[in-house]
Chain A
Amino acid sequence: MEVIVILIGASLAVAIGFLIAFLWAVKSGQYDDKYTPSVRILFDNDSSEEKSKTN
């Protein structure tokens, strides 16, 4: 039964890892703007240059 202590330790370590990841995400501003990135990801990079090449 004592093995549970190791398992709890491991699970806590993982949970702390996620907590730190969350705090880092907030700190780095990922929660500041929840709309613009969803639009930005749809823009093609330099598509106009590629288009002018194919034309």
Chain B
Amino acid sequence: MSQYTEIKLSCYHCGGDCSDDSIFIDDKLFCCNGCKTVYEILQANNMCDYYSIEETPGISKRNEIRRNFDFLDDPDLQNKLIDFTDGNWTKITFFIPQMHCSSCIWILENLYKFNLAIPESEVDFLKKTVSVKYSVKETTLKDVVILLDSLGYLPSFNFEEKTKSKSDEVLKKLYYKIGVAGFAFGNIMLLSFPEYLSLDDVVTDNIKNIFGTLNMLLALPVFLYSASEYYFSAWKGLKKKIINIDVPITLGIFVLFARSYYELITVTGAGYLDSLAALVFFLLIGKLFQYKTYDVLNFERNYQSYFPIAVTIIKDSAETTKPLDKLEAGDRIIIKNGEIVPADSVLISDSANIDYSFVTGESVPVYKTNGSIIYAGGKQVGKSIKVETVKDVSQSYLTQLWNQDAFRKEYSSNINMLVNIISKYFTIIILGIASTAFIFWAPSDIHVAFNAFTAVLIIACPCALALSTPFTLGNSLRIFGRNKFYVKNADEIERMAKVDSIVFDKTGTLTETNSSDINYIGEELSDERKSLISSAAKDSSHPLSQSLVRALLPADHYPVERFEEVFGKGILAIVNGAEVKLGSDRFFNGASKVNGDLPNSSKVNVEINNERLGYFEIKNKYRPNLKAIAANLKSLYCISVLSGDNAGEENNLRNFFGDKARLLFRQSPFDKLNYVKDLQSKNHKVLMIGDGLNDAGALKQSDVGISISENVNNFSPACDGIMESKSFNKLKDFVNFSRTSRKIIILSFIISFLYNLVGLFFAVQGLLSPVIAAILMPISSISVVVFATLSTNLTAKKQGLL
């Protein structure tokens, strides 16, 4: 008998679907015992407010694995993880990627109700961290982590996290500097009013002198502190024989400061200290605007962030845990369901199912038998296996990628940035004009000559020039972020504008990870049979079974009477009295015949009541709109597709990308890296789009490496940008928009040059009064900022990105 319930049962804790109503307390339903346990813990501690702040805030415990946290007792490891300890109290910051709502904040800040030895815990929601202070005498790090895990908030341990606080320090310093500059700017402006309004008859010379002295005092911290990083940057540039934008800025600031002090001390004028303070203030605001970071996302992962920090090893026939960095070749390790093999190993157990999705993007597990090599990065699916490591973690096949030059080179980033190319010529021209003015005036009046020389350098100080880039690119960064494309920093957008070649990885990038094309070949299936197959496959967690269930969509599901799964091979189920057998060739014919696998696809044979009906052929599905995206891109860029698979898909890819595209198959991670290098040596600017660890080298080597991910908080290799897979169809818009941004920057440059021309007109005649400087400089800066912001927003709207 089949029953179909319309009302979906959802879990009180996590909101997930409940398969039946067997797990409940106080008429609250749960999808699994894990969720129920969390509820019980909360109830016992009088913490059920958790459920009233947000609905179903919990994190599903359905795929829960029992974890062993013994490695947290290792003192070396503890020292690496904790922020600070004084022997009584220890402070540690955990990164908790599961944090997603205000209930999470509430429960994580009320940890003391569960364990009195944790008096303080503070959440930073945007960074997804919780800082915990605990008493060393009353509890241990392990207990704290077990508590968090029992509530569903398993911290993700990562030794790189600690360096992150550095960016906080930079930001804090920027705030200090802006504060000081803003304070000085406002007050100096106020004290300069008599000068602006020429109130000579009202304001006595005495008061003017006092105002001048005050201005000198106020400008001093701006000159010495707020503007200091421009001096360092200019000096660094000059040492490398590069005239960056900070060189003319520094020149301008020094001349402004020196001439103003000279005028005020000799009582020959009022100086330009207001312009100096305004200039520094605006420049720093621009810097702050550019300083957008996605703290939660990690763009600099190395292989260590993929791997566990400790593994279970067998030593003297007992299980112990060992930190990963102490793992040696020859250790025997136990890999449990869902754990990652940290180093190249040989399988000791009879069989294993290795999911290489981190490595290749391919999520269908690979079946391995005793004695075969399992590469680092593979994830075991199913029962625990034993393996013996044959290489160190750092010497393993994939992790060797990180020893490549690509990972050592520091980006010699901003030499080629537009603003620095221009500033080189700009500085030379301005110095030329200033000297010409000096030489012109010197014979007649040396005083005017000095005046004109300094005035040119002051008025030409490229404040607006320096502001146009951060505001345009900073705004573009925000617009991209709103479209789920997170770029590491603003410079990458300019780099993206210059790209002329695009390299795609195939699996996981051009194809979707979670859905597939399914073809059925064989005797036609009746609705009845479809229901039987779907009911049988429903209870299996294997990705192929899941794809089948999604594709068949039968009208009914039958109760399953008996269910047996041979992992990685197939399932045998009795459904509604019929015997349903689904699985690979190996499942039907025994291990002897393995070569029947179709290239690039997986085959699931179907047998009902001992009658072989046919098979499903399950292929990776290309992303929707790929045709349109490819058609747009192929005319503008030189396109390459690299694939780790065989050439089976060549014709399909040709259809998408045309004859000119270069398609390369059977590419190892090193081949991919070398291919990108090769393109670059032919003066191509390469945009690489990939998704897995095997693309890590190529992503790092390319000029802009974008990693594509179903969920941006998931693992992604080191890259310059992370794109959510749903935004893939906007790829063309993103590249176009980065080009538009570049054009906007150039237009802003032109605007600021026009202002400079007006200023120079006064300056070369030695007629630059403080009022003209005080008006011209802020106006030019503000108009450039307004132009940059408005025009990026408008074009984004036009291109459908806002």
Interface residues of A (CB under 8 A from B): 1-2, 4-5, 8, 11-12, 15-16, 18-19, 22-23, 26-27, 31-36, 39-40, 42-43, 47-49, 52
Contact = CB atoms under 8 A, between A and B. Distances in A.
A43 to B, nearest CB: 5
A4 B408 CA distance: 62
A52 B124 CA distance: 30
A26 B176 contact: yes
A23 B106 contact: no
B180 A19 contact: yes
Contact of A19 (B126, B127, B183, B202): B183
Interface of B: 46-49, 53, 102, 105-106, 109, 123-127, 168, 171-172, 175-176, 179-180, 183, 186-187, 190-191, 202-204, 206-207, 210-211, 214
Contacts of B124: 32-33, 36
Contacts of A19: 179-180, 183
B53 A43 contact: yes
B175 to A, nearest CB: 5
- Nearest 5 pairs between A and B by C-beta? A36-B125, A19-B183, A26-B175, A33-B124, A22-B179
A35 B125 contact: yes
A36 B187 contact: no
Contacts, number: 69
Contact of B172 (A22, A26, A47): A26
B125 A1 contact: no
Contacts of A8: 191, 210-211, 214
Contact of A33 (B126, B179, B214): B126
Given A33-B126, A36-B126, A4 B207 contact: yes
Given A15-B187, A31-B172, A52-B46, A5 B125 contact: no
By secondary structure, the B interface counts as helix
Nearest to A38: B125
A16 B191 CA distance: 15
5 contacts: A1-B207, A11-B190, A15-B186, A27-B172, A43-B102
B645 to A, nearest CB: 43
Contacts of A1: 202-204, 207
Contacts of B179: 19, 22-23, 26
A16 B214 CA distance: 13
Nearest to A9: B214
B188 to A, nearest CB: 11
Contact of A40 (B109, B127, B186): B109
A49 B46 contact: yes
Given A15-B187, A40-B105, 12 more contacts: A8-B210, A8-B211, A15-B183, A16-B183, A19-B183, A22-B179, A26-B172, A26-B175, A26-B179, A32-B168, A35-B126, A40-B109
Given A12-B214, A52-B46, A39 B125 contact: yes
Contact of B102 (A33, A34, A42): A42
Contacts of B126: 33-36
Nearest to B171: A31
B49 A47 contact: yes
B207 A2 contact: yes
A9 to B, nearest CB: 9
A33 B203 CA distance: 47
Nearest to B48: A48
Contacts of B125: 33, 35-36, 39
A22 B125 CA distance: 23
A23 B218 CA distance: 16
Nearest to A42: B102
